[in-house]
Structure formats: C-alpha cells, structure tokens
C-alpha cells in the first residue's frame, strides 16, 4: 500500500493518523518515495494550500495498485495519474474527475533507424518491435495502437517484446530489433544520447489523453470545486509550482483543463484491447 503501505507498520500507522488531519491527501502514481514526491510536488502542495485555503499532505504510494488500495482505504483522496492508469482506477474506485493536466507533444510512436530496411510501418511485418514499459500509455499502448491503425496486429504481424527503453535503443542500433515504441520526449533524449545515430519515425499516433487529477467518491463537492478553481483560475501560479521541479518538464507549455470527461479516455480503452486486454480490473504488469 503506501510504500507497502510505506515500509513498516509503525510508519504506516503514523502516516495514516497525520494524514487524517489533512483536507487533501494527494498521491501521484508514478512517484514512489516520499523524498522524491516532496521534491517534485512539494511546491504544488503549497500553492494548492494558498489557493484553496485547505490543508494538503502528499502521500507516497509504491505502485499503481497501491494507489487504488490507498484510495479505497481513505488514506488518499486525490490522485494524479496517467491516462492508462486512470482507466483502471475508474473501474476500481469510480473517482470524481477534477482537472486534466495537459502534456504537449504527448503521443505514441514507433522509432527505427533512418536509412535502414524499415522505411514504413509495413516493413515491420515479421520483425521485432520493443515496448519499454508494460501498460505505459506512451511506451506500449499508444505505439501499439499506432501500428494497429496502420494494419499491423499486435503480437501477430510482428514480434512484440518488452525491453527497457535504454537497452532497446542499443539493440536497435545493433540491428537486433527493428522498432521501438516511445513518446516524443524519449526520442529527443535518444537523439541527445546518440548524436551520431539517425533515428526516424515510421508510425505516429494522435495526441494521447491528458494526465488527470481525480478525487475519491467521498470527497465533498465544495472541496472538488475549490481544487478545480485553483488549477483553472489560479492556473498560472499552479503551473509555475509544477515546473519548479525539472522532473515535471513534461507539462511545460501545457494547461490545466476543466472540461474533461470519462469518454475522453475511450481511446485508451481501445488501446488496451489492441494488446489483448478486454477488462479493466487490474493493472497490466501489476
């Protein structure tokens, strides 16, 4: 649960008691340790307190599953999560949507080596394509959907493998694999890390649904409204707080969007189906 739920019963109990006093007990699904969470989102918590007049406590969770269990147990009542995680969180906890966090240039794509044998997506038929993280919106689901939209069935028309992205890039350069699923930010990092290698994109999907802040069903409507207003009316100050950590650069140039509906994430549900997942009651890969 919270670091299993946090790394020790005594710490877990102490954390639970202190968090009970906070109006907003917020977790972030892709940030695990308390120190990392404070470094990345401490300024956000402070800005949210100033804007809402409510007390905010950051609660680290050790995994996506831990976030679900923590929300069910009322140990957290707000969760910032990615689109793939939201679909599962929605099925398991039926949370209230608060606000979307836009990520500019957030789309899935298939990257290969320029000048090689793979010049179009069709050339990947019978080849090896790697995906960097099981259940990741931009490293597996989005890129797999981009190929499916071009007629390549996942795991049938090509060999789909899960390989850590940095390892996969080296394998791509050696010619051991022929394509990698990644997002635009990952491609930019690869180009900086390997300035002498010419990468190219043979399949690119549409912009992915945004990250999303959700609240537990039990959270009062007045609290939801205050938090929503903080990110919309005071959006500039909140974004400055978000971007005070370099780890949040993925949100740079983005906005907080009040108009967001569950149906906006049906595209993600179709991506799950593309990789053979038809139910949304558990996270892919745990």
Model confidence over 194-225: pLDDT tens digits? 999 999 999 999 999 999 999 999 999 999 99
Cα angle at 275 between 158 and 210, to 5 degrees?
120
The total number of structural domains that make up the chain: 2
- pLDDT band for 133, please (50, 70, 90 cuts): confident
For 7-11, 106-110, 199-203, which range has the lowest pLDDT when averaged over its residues? 7-11
Coil vs helix vs strand at 28 = strand
Q: Which stretches within 103-210 are classed as H helix?
A: 142-149, 165-174, 184-193
- pLDDT band for 158, please (50, 70, 90 cuts): very high
Please give the pLDDT value at position 20. Answer: 52
User: What's the full length of the chain, in residues?
Assistant: 286
123 secondary structure, DSSP code: G
Q: Does 124 fall in a domain? A: yes
Say how far residue 33 (Cα) sits from the centre of its chain. Answer: 17
> In this structure, are 22 and 98 located in the same domain?
yes
Please give the pLDDT value at position 6. Answer: 35
Read off the pLDDT of each residue in 86-97 and give the average, rounded to a whole number: 96
The gap between the terminal CA atoms of the chain, to the nearest Å, is 13
**pLDDT of 2 above 90:** no
> In this structure, are 255 and 203 located in the same domain?
no
d(CA 190, CA 206): 21
Q: Which of 159, 187, 207 is the C-terminal boundary of a domain? A: 207
Give the structural domain span for 167: 107-207
d(CA 138, CA 209): 10
d(CA 44, CA 42): 5
Percent of the chain's residues with pLDDT above 90: 87
**pLDDT of 119 above 60:** yes
Residue keyed to tokens 């995906």:
131
**pLDDT of 11 above 80:** no
Residues 92/68, Cβ–Cβ less than 8 Å: yes
Neighbours of 8 (CB within 10 A): 12
> In this structure, are 160 and 21 located in the same domain?
no
Read off the pLDDT of each residue in 129-155 and give the average, rounded to a whole number: 95
> In this structure, are 61 and 88 located in the same domain?
yes
d(CA 24, CA 102): 22
Q: Which of 207, 228, 261 is the C-terminal boundary of a domain? A: 207
**pLDDT of 5 above 70:** no
**pLDDT of 87 above 60:** yes
Tell me the whole-structure pTM to 2 decimals. 0.87
**pLDDT of 8 above 50:** no
Read off the pLDDT of each residue in 221-250 and give the average, rounded to a whole number: 97
**Helices and strands of the chain, counted as H and E runs:** 10, 11
Q: Does 267 fall in a domain? A: yes
What is the pairing mode between strands 107-113 and 199-207? antiparallel
> In this structure, are 62 and 121 located in the same domain?
no
CATH value at residue 44:
3.40.190.10
Read off the pLDDT of each residue in 240-255 and give the average, rounded to a whole number: 96
Of 155, 209, 157, 163, nearest in space to 182 by CA: 163
**pLDDT of 3 above 70:** no
Encoding tokens for residue 2? 């919270």
d(CA 48, CA 23): 11
Task: Of 6-10, 44-48, 61-65, 129-133, give the range with the top mean pLDDT.
Answer: 44-48
d(CA 61, CA 67): 6
For 14-28, 109-123, 254-268, which range has the lowest pLDDT when averaged over its residues? 14-28
Please give the pLDDT value at position 21. Answer: 76
**pLDDT of 113 above 80:** yes
């Amino acid at each position: 649960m919270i670091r299993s739920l946090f790394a020790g019963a005594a710490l877990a109990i102490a954390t639970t008691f202190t968090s009970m006093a906070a109006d907003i007990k917020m977790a972030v699904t892709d940030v695990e340790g308390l120190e990392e969470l404070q470094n990345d989102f401490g300024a956000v918590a402070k800005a949210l307190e100033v804007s809402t007049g409510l007390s905010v406590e950051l609660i680290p969770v050790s995994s996506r599953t831990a976030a679900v269990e923590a929300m069910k147990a009322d140990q957290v009542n707000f969760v910032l999560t990615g689109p793939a995680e939201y679909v599962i969180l929605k099925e398991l906890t039926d949370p209230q949507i608060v606000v979307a966090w836009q990520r500019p240039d957030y789309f899935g794509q298939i990257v290969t080596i320029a000048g090689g044998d793979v010049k179009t997506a069709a050339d990947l038929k019978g080849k090896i394509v790697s995906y960097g993280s099981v259940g990741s919106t931009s490293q597996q689901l989005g890129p797999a959907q981009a190929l499916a939209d071009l007629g390549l069935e996942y795991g049938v028309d090509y060999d789909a493998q899960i390989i850590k992205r940095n390892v996969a890039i080296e394998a791509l350069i050696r010619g051991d694999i022929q394509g990698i699923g990644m997002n635009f930010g990952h491609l930019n990092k690869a180009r900086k890390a390997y300035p002498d290698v010419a990468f190219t994109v043979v399949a690119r999907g549409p912009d992915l649904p945004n990250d999303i802040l959700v609240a537990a069903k039990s959270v009062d409507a007045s609290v939801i409204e205050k938090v929503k207003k903080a990110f919309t009316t005071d959006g500039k100050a909140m974004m400055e707080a978000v971007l005070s950590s370099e780890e949040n650069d993925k949100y740079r140039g983005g906005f907080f969007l009040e108009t967001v509906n569950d149906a906006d994430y049906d595209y993600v549900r179709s991506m799950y189906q593309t990789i053979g997942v038809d139910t949304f009651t558990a996270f892919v890969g745990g």
